[in-house]
């Protein structure tokens, strides 16, 4: 049996790593909506045709014209994401498998909350672009008015006018109450809540967990999520910390947690993940009422 006191760093055991990744995939709205690509290295290119070859009418004995497709090669780069979870020193004598089983929910939640905040809103993001930034650069923005159903339709229209279909929404949890009240002309609900997935205008809608969705910046995001790429490298590594001071964890005496002084340890888990929205015009944002009035 492997003990943390003997193995202070290494890779999370494969069964537990797989369980963490499944939790992350279930908990992250960005991952649930986006196209997932497995990465075998830190960088990966995605060949994408932006202008295809044309077809031509040809008369008898006439030469057939030729044309060439135009390709771009957007590149996604995996970035390291780390979480530190403090626990009791007694865990040093527990098996690695048991410890990671117990720490799994906290590690998973920290991962998927940070991924959603970065990829959707650009909050503390290492990525070159977020969903919100893509929508802004495409000038696909509408400010919420008095009719949410009309505003959402107009939001979809911004994307449709540029040749893309909307196939999903992301929104904050406060939108649920507003959506439940919406009805079409025949009195039918426009929002259909579900156990595994909810729908709005017959498209899936994800309500982003744990404050990752910045309500001051957006009420909802509509998108063709085929152009939202998440790249995952599944090797999750860990390191046991015994002497660090965790500035973001405050103890009952008002001081930061000192692992040595409080006789605790912390597990630092790291994974690598990348994010890339590859067509700005495929994303649109519904801004909150009054957005911009104070200089946002």
Tens digits of residue pLDDT in 191-216: 888 767 889 999 999 999 878 999 99
What does the pLDDT average to over 110-131? 96
Mean pLDDT, the chain, rounded, equals 89
Whether 87 and 267 have beta carbons less than 8 Å apart is answered as yes
* pLDDT at res. 292: 74
- Ordered by where they begin, the domains of the chain are 9-165+210-287 (3.30.2400.10)
- Whether the per-residue pLDDT at 96 is higher than 80: the answer is no
- Whether the per-residue pLDDT at 155 is higher than 90: the answer is yes
- Whether the per-residue pLDDT at 294 is higher than 70: the answer is no
Q: How many CB atoms lie within 10 A of CB 263?
A: 11
- % residues pLDDT > 90 (the chain): 57
Instruction: Determine the Cα–Cα distance for residues 112 and 127; give it in Å rounded to an integer.
Output: 15
- Whether the per-residue pLDDT at 20 is higher than 80: the answer is yes
Q: Strand, coil or helix: what is 119? A: helix
Most confident listed range (234-238, 283-287, 289-293): 283-287
What does the pLDDT average to over 81-97? 83
Higher model confidence: residue 211 or residue 274? 274
* pLDDT at res. 228: 96
pLDDT tier, 50 (very low <50, low <70, confident <90, very high otherwise)? low
* pLDDT at res. 29: 96
What does the pLDDT average to over 55-67? 73
Sequence-distant (≥ 6) Cβ neighbours of residue 205 within 8 angstroms: 168, 169, 170, 171, 179, 191, 198, 199, 220
Which among 21, 23, 26, 33 has a CA at the least distance from the CA of 171?
33
pLDDT tier, 7 (very low <50, low <70, confident <90, very high otherwise)? confident
pLDDT tier, 288 (very low <50, low <70, confident <90, very high otherwise)? very high
């Amino acid at each position: 049996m492997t003990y943390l006191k003997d193995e202070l760093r290494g890779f999370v055991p494969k069964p537990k790593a797989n369980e963490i990744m499944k939790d992350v995939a279930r908990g992250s709205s960005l991952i649930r909506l986006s196209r997932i690509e497995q990465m075998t290295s830190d960088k990966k290119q995605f060949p994408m045709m932006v202008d295809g070859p044309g077809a031509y009418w040809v008369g008898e004995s006439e030469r057939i014209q030729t044309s060439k497709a135009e390709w771009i090669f957007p590149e996604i780069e995996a970035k390291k994401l780390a979480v530190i979870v403090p626990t009791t020193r007694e865990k040093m004598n527990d098996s690695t498998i048991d410890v990671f089983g117990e720490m799994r929910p906290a590690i998973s939640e920290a991962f998927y909350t940070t991924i959603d905040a970065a990829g959707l809103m650009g909050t503390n993001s290492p990525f070159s672009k977020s969903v919100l930034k893509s929508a802004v650069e495409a000038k696909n923005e509408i400010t919420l008015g008095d009719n949410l159903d009309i505003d959402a339709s107009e939001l979809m229209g911004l994307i449709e006018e540029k040749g893309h279909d909307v196939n999903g929404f992301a929104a904050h949890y406060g939108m649920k109450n507003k959506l439940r009240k919406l009805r079409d002309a025949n009195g039918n609900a426009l929002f259909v809540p579900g156990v595994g997935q909810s729908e709005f205008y017959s498209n899936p809608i994800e309500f982003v967990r744990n404050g990752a969705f910045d309500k001051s910046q957006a009420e909802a995001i509509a998108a063709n999520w085929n152009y939202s790429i998440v790249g995952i490298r599944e090797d999750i590594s860990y390191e046991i910390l015994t002497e660090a001071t965790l500035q973001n964890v405050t103890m009952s005496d008002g001081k930061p947690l000192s692992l040595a002084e409080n006789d605790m340890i912390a597990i630092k888990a790291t994974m690598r993940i990348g994010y890339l929205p590859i067509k700005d015009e495929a994303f649109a944002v519904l801004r909150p009422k009054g957005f911009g009035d104070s200089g946002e």
